C-alpha cells in the first residue's frame, strides 16, 4: 500500500527570465512503513520536491502532475485543508531545524499552540505527552519549560524532532536534517528516526540528503535526482551495489570510503557542472557530464526503464522501451 503517490510532478520557480524547472516530471511512491530516501547534489530539486508537498508558496509553482496523499491530491488542497493535515498527517523537519523554533516562546507554549490549532483541548495532557517524548529522545523533561536559545544545537535539533512528530503524522519529511551536525550527533538523529518508526509514531519517512552513505544506513528505497529528474529509483541496496545509471555509478565512485587512500587509489569526481534549469536541454540532463553520451542523448529524453525488481533508471544505454 502506498501512502503517497507522486505522478509526473512538475514544480517550477517563476522568474523574470522564464520558469526554472526545478522538479520536472518526477514520479514515485512512498509505501507504508518504509523510509524513502531522496538523494542528489545541490540544485537537483530535492528540497523543492518535498517542500512543494507541504509548504508550496510563490515563486514556487505547481506546473503539472499530482501528489496523492491518502487519496487526496496535495496540489489541489485549499489552505484550510492543508493546514489541517499539517503536523497531524504530514509533517516536515526542515533543513535548518536547529533554528526552526520561535525563540520567544517556551517549548511547551510552542507545542500547545500547535496542539490547540488541531483541536486539542486538554493542555496538561499535551504537556504530559511532550515530556514523555522529550524523554524518548533523551532530553530532560525540563526542556519543556525552556526557551529554544537555552538549548545547544544538538538538543534543539532533537526538540524540533519532538515538536514535528508530536501529533503522530503518518508521513514525516526529513530534509537534510543531519547536514549541519557532527557525525556522532548525526548517528543519534538517525537512531531516533528509526525509533520513531518502531514506536509507530510515524508510519513512513521521506529522508532527503546529499549523502548516499547515510541513505545506505536508513532508507529502504532510494531515488537519485539529477537536475530535476529521476535518474534512478530502487531498493537502496540495489542502488548502492548495482547502480545502473552512469550518474549514480560515477557518484558512488567519487565517495571516499574507509580503506581508500589517495596514495594508493585515486578516486575521481564527475567533471563539469550541472546544467542550468532555466532552459534545460530537451534530452538527458546529464549528457554534458556523461562519459558515455551518445548523439541521441542530447535531443531525446531517456524514459525510466525497469532494470531489476522495483529498480528503474533513465538512460539510453539501458534501452528505450517506456515502462
Q: Which residues bind another protein (CB under 8 A)?
A: 41-42, 137-138, 152-155, 158, 182-188, 190-191, 194-195, 210-214, 216-217, 240, 250-252, 254-263, 266-271, 273
Query: Helix, strand, or coil here: 12?
Result: strand
- Residue-wise over 25-62: b if at least 16 C-beta within 10 A, else e? bbbbbbbeebbbbbbbbebbbbbbbbbbbbebeeebbb
Query: Which residue lies nearer to another protein by CB, 41 or 109?
Result: 41
**Please, what is the minimum distance in Å from the beta carbon of residue 189 to another protein?**
9
In whole angstroms, how close is the CB of 162 to another protein at the nearest point?
Answer: 13
CA distance 67 to 25: 11
User: At its nearest, how many Å lie between another protein and the CB of residue 274?
Assistant: 8
Q: Which lies closer to another protein via its Cβ, residue 89 or residue 242?
A: 242
Instruction: Quote the Cα angle for 189-226-39, to 5°.
Output: 10
Nearer to another protein among residue 61 and residue 211 (C-beta): 211
Smallest gap from Cβ 218 to another protein, in A, equals: 8
Q: What distances in angstroms separate CA 91 from CA 165, 188, 206, 241, one per listed residue?
A: 7, 20, 10, 31
Which residue's CB is nearer to another protein, number 246 or number 283?
Answer: 246
The helix (H) or strand (E) run that includes residue 35 is strand 35-39
CB of 45 to another protein, least distance (A): 14
Residue whose CB is less far from another protein, 89 or 249? 249
Amino acid at each position: 500500500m502506498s501512502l503517497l503517490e507522486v505522478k509526473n510532478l512538475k514544480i517550477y520557480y517563476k522568474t523574470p527570465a522564464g520558469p526554472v524547472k526545478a522538479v520536472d516530471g518526477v514520479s514515485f511512491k512512498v509505501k507504508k512503513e518504509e523510509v524513502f530516501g531522496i538523494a542528489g547534489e545541490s540544485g537537483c530539486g530535492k528540497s523543492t520536491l518535498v517542500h512543494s508537498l507541504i509548504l508550496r508558496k510563490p515563486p514556487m509553482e505547481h506546473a503539472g502532475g499530482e501528489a496523492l496523499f491518502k487519496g487526496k491530491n496535495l496540489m489541489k488542497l485549499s489552505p484550510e485543508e492543508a493546514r489541517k493535515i499539517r503536523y497531524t498527517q504530514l509533517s516536515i523537519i526542515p533543513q535548518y531545524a536547529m533554528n526552526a523554533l520561535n525563540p520567544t516562546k517556551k517549548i511547551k507554549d510552542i507545542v500547545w499552540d500547535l496542539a490547540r490549532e488541531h483541536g486539542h483541548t486538554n493542555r496538561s495532557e499535551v504537556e504530559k505527552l511532550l515530556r514523555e517524548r522529550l524523554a524518548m529522545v533523551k532530553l530532560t523533561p525540563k526542556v519543556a519549560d525552556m526557551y529554544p536559545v537555552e538549548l545547544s544545537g544538538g538538543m534543539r535539533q532533537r526538540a524540533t524532532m519532538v515538536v514535528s512528530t508530536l501529533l503522530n503524522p503518518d508521513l514525516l519529511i526529513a530534509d537534510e536534517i543531519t547536514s549541519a551536525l557532527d557525525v556522532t550527533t548525526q548517528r543519534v538523529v538517525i537512531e531516533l528516526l528509526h525509533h520513531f518508526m518502531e514506536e509507530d509514531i510515524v508510519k513512513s519517512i521521506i529522508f532527503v540528503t546529499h549523502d548516499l552513505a547515510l541513505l545506505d544506513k536508513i532508507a529502504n528505497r532510494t531515488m537519485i535526482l539529477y537536475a530535476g529528474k529521476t535518474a534512478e529509483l530502487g531498493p537502496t541496496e540495489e542502488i548502492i551495489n548495482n547502480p545502473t545509471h552512469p550518474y549514480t555509478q560515477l557518484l558512488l565512485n567519487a565517495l571516499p570510503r574507509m580503506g581508500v587512500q589517495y596514495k594508493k587509489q585515486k578516486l575521481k569526481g564527475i567533471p563539469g557542472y550541472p546544467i542550468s534549469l532555466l532552459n534545460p536541454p530537451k534530452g538527458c540532463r546529464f549528457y554534458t557530464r556523461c562519459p558515455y553520451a551518445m548523439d541521441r542523448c542530447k535531443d531525446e529524453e531517456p524514459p525510466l526503464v525497469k532494470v531489476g525488481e522495483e529498480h528503474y533508471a533513465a538512460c539510453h544505454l539501458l534501452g528505450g522501451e517506456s515502462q
